[in-house]
Copies of this chain bind each other. A is one copy, B any other.
Amino acid sequence: MSKRNIYLKTIPVHEAVATAIAALDRETLVKPESIAVHEALNRVTSEAVHARCSSPTYHSAAMDGYAVKSDTTFPAREGQPLDLIKNKTCIPVNTGNALPDGMDAVIMIENIVDNGDSVSIEAPAFPWQHVRRIGEDIVATEMLLPRNHTISAFDLGALLSAGIYEIKVHEKIRMTFIPTGDEILPFADRPTPKPGEVIESNSQVFRSLALGLDVEFKATLPVRDREDLLAKAVETALQNSHIVVIGAGSSAGSKDFTSKTIAQLGTLLVHGIAVMPGKPTVLGTAQNKLLVGAPGYPVSAVVCFEDVLTPIISWLSGKPTPEREKVQVRLARRTPSKPGMEEIVRLAVGKVGEGYAGVPLARGAGMITTLTKAQGFTRVPAESEGIELNESVEVELFSGKQTLEAILMHVGSHDNTLDLLGDILMGGDTPIRLVSTHAGSMGGLAALKTDVALFAGVHLFDPESGDFNFPFLEKYLPDVDVTVINLAIRHQGFIVPKGNPLNITGIESLRDGKVSFINRQRGAGTRILFDYHLDNAEILPTFVKGYDREEYTHMAVAANVLTGSADCGLGIYAAAKALDLGFVPLAHERYDLIIPDKYMQDKRIISLINLLKSDEIKKAVSELGGYDTPLTGKIMKPGMGLG
């Protein structure tokens, strides 16, 4: 039998958090300490703070002007000016000056006539006019802050104004992260990984998230997959940490020692939480400190930090758990989800028309880029079977709602030039963030139909008419008025290993089923192009080896060729060039941007179109290779073909 762990019962996230909180004694774990007030930003008071001095500490002039004794000014009337003698019955003061003895009001400089040695006024001053009285802002001994208060920039100002220079706060929570795994390379060595090796990065994601909670963070060097080494590392880390996190090894594999180690050193509380990604999260305690087994997959690790560690750290720190801003988002795609587990679905989100639209990103827990590409995520509840197309869901945002206004939502075919557009659009005074979801040309048309994108990149060849895109628009988007603008003419062909070792010459090379092919997903213009050429050559798809293997981007196809996972695939020249592969040309095609007319005046679309008309983009696209730009930025009409 294999030496495998058995999961404890998987429990809901809030139960896991409550279990850990119930098992820790906060009062003895987190000590108070005294620190300088000016270094106390974002720290949390451990006791109430009372003012030492009043502010102001004296009656002070609130305006520039002249201090007076108010009852000497009562005769002044409009048309009956009263003269006051400088430095006798009136004394010049600037804002903030102490009121001279006996004076109880200030007359603004704007309301006097200066006669040299005297001033005239035409209105009386009432007592305490334009005077900041002692204690107006703060009275000595009053409570300024209660305990467990997170100190803001403004609080610092109030504390210093009240003459408080030291403050009692909870010590910072200290976290030590122990990366584990034989396959892990320390990033600090700046390695280039070989097959079977992985660059350690979760420690730095945790560090960044921890810093956001004002946690003092330390990461050890990676520990190899040996129980004794892990136990020793944890024991050492416990000495000066409130929380010790073991990275990876928290699942139920034969080398997953986390839960066993925690049980040996202390008490195992939780093994497995009912959320995907994030399930293999382990919690325990030892020496009244928190032990955590964090999953190895980056997205699972992030969920472990945000859903489990963040509320525990907040509680330990005396802070409220931070919550993300939420918006309602209309979903571009039906998203089934397995019942019984909460699922966290990352989404590309942007403002489209009056509301927000979202496109679900890939679900793999190993894909950190689904977090970097997402603007937020939605939670599919455990009891749900998923989200329907066009259903409105609550999305928790990574940034403020207003950032969604600057997002230019694209759904459609993948092309490397989109990255160029995205880069240049971020360079302006009002940066625009191009968020591009690769769903193929047909997916782009579907997105326009359901109104979840501001434009779609499409390259669909119609063999009957010999035209591009328009026949498909007429068929699939008859009710949407659109403008079609060309991005580029691009060269499609077979991406082959460098030097073309199998001597692939064209579609004929696939006829005998010996060459393995990597295909694009259904609905991709490139797949439609491939099918057209197969049909012309009278080759049955079932005879093409690997016809059923699908990738979503040209770059992914090229990566398969690079690593020998396939002998060839159909794609654009730019992708072959990027990975230094061979390229056997098959066809030229028009890659157009389809823009609903109702968005033609949207400021993001206007910026896009201005960029497309510029020489800058033509030059940049040409430099990629494999593109022609005679039509770039021009409005296309039916029947134009390749111009």
Residues of chain A at the chain B interface (Cβ within 8 Å) = 1-2, 4, 21, 37-38, 41, 48, 52-60, 62, 64, 92, 94-98, 109, 114, 127-128, 132-149, 152-158, 160-161, 163, 165, 181, 183, 187-188, 190-202, 204-205, 207-209, 211-212, 248, 251-256, 296-298, 302, 315, 318, 320, 322-323, 325, 364, 366-369, 371-372, 398, 400-403, 406, 419, 422-423, 425-427, 429, 431, 433-434, 549, 553, 555-556, 558-560, 562-563, 565, 578-579
Closest B-chain residue to A131, C-beta based?
Answer: B565
Question: For chain A, what secondary structure do more than half of its interface residues adopt (helix, strand, loop), or is it mixed?
Answer: loop
**With a CB–CB cut-off of 8 A, which chain B residues contact A252?**
64, 109
CB distance from A37 to the nearest CB of B (A): 8
Q: Is the CB of A555 within 8 A of B141?
A: yes
Given contacts A192-B53, A427-B147, contact A38 B204 (CB under 8 A): yes
Q: Is the CB of B64 within 8 A of A565?
A: no
Q: Is the CB of A134 within 8 A of B565?
A: yes
**With a CB–CB cut-off of 8 A, which chain B residues contact A201?**
156-157, 160-161
Closest B-chain residue to A318, C-beta based?
Answer: B431
Given contacts A97-B183, A153-B212, A194-B57, contact A163 B578 (CB under 8 A): no
Q: Is the CB of B148 within 8 A of A431?
A: yes
CB distance from A208 to the nearest CB of B (A): 3
Q: Is the CB of A560 within 8 A of B157?
A: no
Q: Is the CB of B157 within 8 A of A196?
A: no
CB distance from A578 to the nearest CB of B (A): 4
Q: Report the bound CA distance from A21 to B156 in whole Å.
A: 30
Given contacts A160-B199, A369-B137, contact A154 B53 (CB under 8 A): no
**With a CB–CB cut-off of 8 A, which chain B residues contact A38?**
187-188, 204, 207
- 9 example contacts (A-B, Cβ-Cβ < 8 A) are as follows A53-B199, A96-B296, A134-B560, A139-B553, A139-B555, A144-B369, A157-B201, A157-B204, A158-B372
Closest B-chain residue to A370, C-beta based?
Answer: B137
Partner of A253, one of B41, B95, B191, B199: B95
Given contacts A153-B208, A157-B368, A205-B157, contact A423 B147 (CB under 8 A): yes
Q: Report the bound CA distance from A153 to B207 in whole Å.
A: 8
CB distance from A497 to the nearest CB of B (A): 14
Closest B-chain residue to A1, C-beta based?
Answer: B114
Given contacts A154-B205, A205-B156, A419-B48, contact A579 B1 (CB under 8 A): no
Partner of A400, one of B59, B157, B325, B553: B325
CB distance from A201 to the nearest CB of B (A): 4
Given contacts A251-B95, A320-B402, contact A54 B366 (CB under 8 A): no
CB distance from A544 to the nearest CB of B (A): 14
**With a CB–CB cut-off of 8 A, which chain B residues contact A425?**
146
Partner of A4, one of B57, B109, B211, B254: B109
Partner of A161, one of B143, B153, B255, B298: B298
**With a CB–CB cut-off of 8 A, which chain B residues contact A207?**
38
Q: Is the CB of B152 within 8 A of A372?
A: yes
CB distance from A397 to the nearest CB of B (A): 10
Q: Is the CB of B560 within 8 A of A133?
A: yes
**With a CB–CB cut-off of 8 A, which chain B residues contact A138?**
369
Give me the 5 closest cross-chain CB pairs, A-B, nearest first. A153-B208, A135-B559, A58-B195, A160-B201, A98-B196
Closest B-chain residue to A183, C-beta based?
Answer: B96
Closest B-chain residue to A211, C-beta based?
Answer: B41
Q: Is the CB of A193 within 8 A of B157?
A: no
Given contacts A187-B160, A209-B153, A367-B136, contact A426 B253 (CB under 8 A): no
Partner of A137, one of B302, B322, B368, B563: B368
Q: Is the CB of B366 within 8 A of A56?
A: yes
Q: Report the bound CA distance from A197 to B156 in whole Å.
A: 19
**With a CB–CB cut-off of 8 A, which chain B residues contact A4?**
64, 109
Q: Is the CB of A163 within 8 A of B255?
A: no
**With a CB–CB cut-off of 8 A, which chain B residues contact A54?**
559
Partner of A64, one of B133, B181, B253, B419: B253
Q: Is the CB of B398 within 8 A of A152?
A: yes
**With a CB–CB cut-off of 8 A, which chain B residues contact A398?**
152
**With a CB–CB cut-off of 8 A, which chain B residues contact A559?**
54, 133-135, 139-140
Q: Is the CB of B372 within 8 A of A132?
A: no
Q: Is the CB of B302 within 8 A of A426?
A: no
Q: Is the CB of A139 within 8 A of B556?
A: yes
Partner of A59, one of B58, B155, B193, B565: B565
CB distance from A124 to the nearest CB of B (A): 14
CB distance from A399 to the nearest CB of B (A): 8
Closest B-chain residue to A321, C-beta based?
Answer: B402
Q: Is the CB of A96 within 8 A of B198?
A: yes
CB distance from A587 to the nearest CB of B (A): 23
